[in-house]
Amino acid sequence: MLIPPSQTQPMSTRELYLFDTMGLLRIPGFLSPDAVEVCRGEVRRLSSTAALGDGEKEKVEDLVGNSAHFAELAASEAVRALVEPLVNQPYRLIESYALRRTRQSVFYLHNGSGEVLHYAGDRVARRNMSYMHTFHDGKLYCMFVKVLIYLSDVLSDDDGPFCYLQGSHKANFAWFPDGDSGSPNAWVSETGNPRAALTRENFPSLEFVRARAGDALVINEALLHGSLQKASGGERILTALGFAPSFVTDWKRLDPRSDDIQRLGHY
pLDDT tens digits along 51-60: 655 557 889 9
Q: Identify which of 211, 225, 219 has the alpha carbon closest to the alpha carbon of residue 240.
A: 219
Q: Identify which of 216, 82, 86, 207 has the alpha carbon closest to the alpha carbon of residue 144.
A: 86
- pLDDT score for 267: 57
Judge whether 43 and 239 are in contact, CB under 8 Å. Answer: yes
Neighbour count for residue 188 (Cβ, 10 Å): 15
Classify domain 17-245 at the CATH topology level. Jelly Rolls (2.60.120)
Record the pTM. Answer: 0.91
Backbone angles phi, psi at 176, to 5 degrees: -105, 85
Q: Which residues contact 42 (CB under 8 A, 6 or more apart)?
A: 67, 69, 70
- pLDDT score for 52: 59
CA distance 147 to 132: 17
- pLDDT score for 178: 72
The low-confidence residues of the chain, meaning pLDDT below 50, are: none
- pLDDT score for 188: 54
Q: What is the pLDDT of residues 141-177, one digit of tens each?
A: 999 999 999 999 999 999 999 999 999 999 999 998 7
Strand partners for 253: none
Sign of the four-CA dihedral 14, 162, 175, 133: negative
